[in-house]
Amino acid sequence: MMDQLEQLKQMTSVVADTGDIDAIARFKPVDATTNPSLMLKAAQDTKYAHLLQTAKQQAEALGGSNADILQNMTDQLAVLLGSEISQMIPGRISTEVDARLSFDTQATLAKARQLIEMYAKLGVGRERVLIKIASTWEGIQAAKILENEGIQCNLTLLFGFSQAKACAEAGVFLISPFVGRILDWHKARYPDQDFSGELDPGVASVSRIYRYYKAHGYDTVVMGASFRNIGEIRSLAGCDRLTISPALMQELSDSEETLERRLSAENPQSDDQKAAIDETAFRWQMNEDAMATEKLAEGIRNFAADQVKLETLLSKL
């Protein structure tokens, strides 16, 4: 009998939500994804000390101001770690653009192109990389341009349906709707409400997006992210992809109960009519969605804070 992780892999592409190379080797996901928080955790682990030193040497060789060198160090570390991970997975590694660029389309474009060039120098082609960008209007427009250049993107910090619609219209390769953080918001505001199983608002959000995409013929991949428990994962079995932490992958691998498919691309039905979305509509719909607005802003702030912590750590090398 296959354990639940192996059963899940039969219907969904499993992605490792970690920068831990050992965990990736153990659970054998198709893809892997990192973010500033995971990068910070990796940078504090002695087994990655060699990557930190290499990143420092390469950044110093490029020269520039202290700020330039420090920024280059973080980029070099992200790409060096991503390159190592890419050797252990058959699919792609997602590497994130600095969250502080989330409201600057041109700066996001420049950083994304730079990261792709850095990967190329290490022999990792763009077909093995996804550029992670926050799902702001500016980020989505940057992704639209990058996709047309053959640089595929993973739009992260996605909480609202308007973000999902805009990403699909922009032709984004993949989105990462955050299941657990949606649940966090609702539990904080409605502590006495039952959010178990199918009542989980994060699960409901991803299911709605998935059905909308499939029913209306969008090619954008839906990858549920930010899980709080394996119940959320089970409720999304069949989604295109799910990015899962090592701890939750272990829980799934410890269970041999039958895993039921919950989402399917066959004969999909959606209650939402297909509709284009422009900037005005996007901003208004986000304004009307307090959860999406607050969690997007919070996520950007937290990723930016961890980026600063990472830079502080690297500056002491």
Contact 129, 93 (CB under 8 A): yes
- Mean pLDDT score across all residues of the chain: 95
Report field, pTM of the whole predicted structure over 0.85: yes
Q: What is the model's pLDDT at position 67?
A: 85
**Domain 4-315 maps to which CATH number in 3.20.20.80, 3.30.43.10, 1.10.287.3510, 3.20.20.70?**
3.20.20.70
Name the stretches of the chain with pLDDT < 70: none
Please list the active-site residues: 132
Phi, psi of 163 (to 5 degrees): -65, -45
Q: Report the SS3 class of residue 170.
A: coil
Q: Helices 179-189 & 290-315, crossing angle to 10 degrees?
A: 120
Of 298, 248, 297, 281, give the one whose Cα is nearest residue 27. Answer: 248
- What single letter denotes the amino acid at residue 218? Y
Q: Give the angle 30-28-123 at the CA atoms, nearest 5°.
A: 60
What's the start-to-end Cα distance of the chain, in Å? Answer: 49
The predicted structure's pLDDT at residue 198: 84
Q: How many CB atoms sit inside 10 A of residue 229's CB? A: 15
pLDDT for the residue 43:
84
Which pLDDT tens digit goes with each residue over 50-87? 998 999 899 888 888 988 888 889 999 999 999 999 99
Query: What is residue 258's predicted lDDT score, i.e. its pLDDT?
Result: 97
At residue 112, φ and ψ (nearest 5 deg) are -60, -45
